[in-house]
Amino acid sequence: MLDKLKARFVPAGSNIVSCVNSWQIMYEKFISYINTHATTPLNEQEVRLIKNIFEPKRIRKKQYFLQEGEVCKYMGFIVKGAMRMYSVDDRGVEHVLSLFVENWWAGDRESFTMLTPSIYNIDAWEDTDMLTITHARLVEFNSIPALLELSRRLDQNHSFANMKRLNASNSLSLEQRYAHVAEKYPEFLQRFPQHIIASYLGVAKETLSRVRSQAIKK
């Protein structure tokens, strides 16, 4: 209990995992992220606008950010935490589509854009702090060039990651694909258990376990 309390008072820039950011700190982190990644930094008016447009949300571990059948009302920028996006097939088996960590947008973009019910679930794997935006505020979002630029860049990276994974699933062995994730997204292996990674790679957890033990022997 003492530990949990202490965690709340960890300084913002610390390496130690803090459970909770104050809302003010969430905005600061977001704005600083935008300014370091965009070609032109935000002006004062834009900073004010961002604080109006984005609503902070805390999603506790295991809680849903989006459930199958709902329309995805929010896209959320993850300031701190980890989430997964998955679908559930006829037999109740979960298939992980995406993993999200800090500085990623979480949400089902198709559902969000088209206002159609999502076929995916998104839940928090760790306690997660996000800044969320609704569809209705997109016009204001689009009025901030640096935000648009950042968003495009993140979308592209995200898209790349999936493209690579897709390509890899055809032309590379499972061992090579696992190694690729380990190299490119090492935080995934540290923050998600092996059976989640297996699902992300599109194989049974037993198969990944075996491939890993084979690889170690070599």
Partner DNA sequence: AAAAAACGTTGATATTTATCATCATCTTCC
Partner DNA sequence: GGAAGATGATGATAAATATCAACGTTTTTT
Q: Which of residues 117-176 bind DNA (CB under 7 A)?
A: 173-174
Sheet containing 94-100: order of strands:
64-66, 121-124, 83-88, 94-100
Per CB under 8 A, the segment of 26-34, 61-69, 85-93, 188-196 that binds a copy of itself is: 85-93
Both structure tokens of 16: 């130690």
Answer yes or no: are the C-beta atoms of 189 and 197 closer than 8 Å: yes
Rule CB under 7 A: say whether 212 interacts with DNA: yes
Instruction: Kindly state whether residue 203 participates in binding DNA, applying the rule CB under 7 A.
Output: yes
How far, in Å, CA of 205 to CA of 85, rounded?
A: 17
Q: Which stretch binds DNA (CB under 7 A): 27-35, 52-60, 67-75, 191-199?
A: 191-199
d(CA 123, CA 65) in angstroms, rounded, equals 5
Return the exposure string of 29-57: e unless at least 16 CB atoms fall within 10 Å of the residue's CB, then b.
bbbeebeeebeeebeeebbebbbebbebe
Q: Quick check: 213 binds DNA (CB under 7 A)?
A: yes
In Å, how far are 24, 37, 38, 93, 146 from 42, measured between CA atoms?
17, 11, 9, 44, 7
The listed partner (DNA, a copy of itself, none) that binds 7, CB under 5 to 8 Å by sort, is none
Binding mask 117-156 for a copy of itself (x = CB under 8 A): -------------------------x--x--xx--xx-xx
Minimum Å gap between C-beta 152 and a copy of itself is 7
Interaction between residue 195 and DNA (CB under 7 A): yes
Work out which of 93, 101, 122, 134 binds DNA, going by CB under 7 A: 93
60, 71, 131, 136, 210 from 112: Cα distances, Å: 22, 7, 15, 10, 39
**Looking at 11-19, 46-54, 64-72, 208-216, which segment touches DNA (CB under 7 A)?**
208-216
Instruction: Check binding of 170 to a copy of itself (CB under 8 A).
Output: yes
Binding DNA by CB under 7 A: which of 88, 142, 206, 215? 206
Nearest-angstrom CA–CA distance, 212 and 210: 5
How far, in Å, are 50, 89, 157 from residue 190 at the CA level?
Answer: 32, 27, 21
Using CB under 8 A as the criterion, which residues of the chain lie in contact with a copy of itself when the complex forms? 87, 89, 93, 95, 97-98, 109-110, 113, 142, 145, 148-149, 152-153, 155-156, 158-160, 162-163, 165-167, 169-172, 199, 202
Using CB under 7 A as the criterion, which residues of the chain lie in contact with DNA when the complex forms? 93, 173-174, 193-195, 202-207, 209-213
